[in-house]
Copies of this chain bind each other. A is one copy, B any other.
Amino acid sequence: MANFGFAHLSVVAPYEAHWREACSAVGAEDLLQDAKMSKTLAEAVAGCTLVIGTGTLVYRKPEQTVVALPELPRPVQDELARGGRIALVFGPEKHGLTREDLSWCQLLVEIPTDPRQPSMNLGQAVAVCLYELASRAVAAQITLPADDPAQGAEESPTAAASGSLDLLAGVIEETMAAAGYSPRSMQAANRHDLRLLLRRLGPSERDTRRILGLFRRILFRLRGGPD
């Protein structure tokens, strides 16, 4: 990360003793010392408008759009131009991101690898992704406004942050329960589908607030609140 000029590291539920040791080691990067620790992925990406999952997808059929790493600079550049915040999510060395983890991601990226050896070392996968972004997307983004300063902000407003989508999803889920829509046995599956649906739709922050207002009102009424 330091090699390619990336400064914001968030670590989700690390093994705490090892993590504290790494951060307090003599000569540890500022980056490591400034890293945020979160209990959940949802918390770590709450402030981000575009959450990108990484990994080898040979063994599963993802529900989101998948781009090859050489194609990633374009969407990243577009999101940066709109003033968005991007998270690039990596899974643990052993098994990568779970299906649950991936449901927080709007976009998945795949590093094109030899089909005989698709599984990469974590540190190398991170290096390759950040190299691609640093040498293309980020550089391009800096020169973008000069090309067409008016474009961007106008036509597509900032997407809602992941945390706003989670807040909305929570209220929708309560509404489903209050409406007797979702039987207990289906709740986990519905929660997963809803999370993905919101990411697919990609509402703006403003739209998300509007939808939230609507569902809050519905929920209030379902629980017997007055007109």
Contacts and interface: CB of A to CB of B under 8 A. Distances in A.
Interface of A: 2-5, 29, 68-70, 111-114, 116-121, 123-125, 127-128, 131-132, 134-136
Given A70-B135, A131-B132, 4 more contacts: A3-B111, A3-B113, A5-B113, A123-B124
Q: Which 5 A-B pairs have the closest CB atoms?
A: A124-B127, A2-B117, A5-B114, A128-B131, A3-B113
A141 to B, nearest CB: 15
Contacts of A29: 117
Q: Give the interface centre of A3, A5, A114, A125 by most chain B CB atoms within 10 Å.
A: A3
A128 B69 CA distance: 12
Contacts of A120: 3, 127
30 contacts: A2-B114, A2-B117, A3-B111, A3-B113, A3-B114, A3-B117, A3-B118, A3-B119, A3-B120, A3-B124, A4-B113, A5-B113, A29-B117, A69-B135, A70-B135, A111-B131, A112-B135, A120-B127, A121-B123, A121-B127, A123-B123, A123-B124, A124-B124, A124-B127, A125-B127, A127-B127, A127-B128, A128-B128, A128-B131, A131-B132
A4 B112 CA distance: 8
Contacts of A123: 121, 123-124
Contacts of A68: 135
Contacts of A132: 131
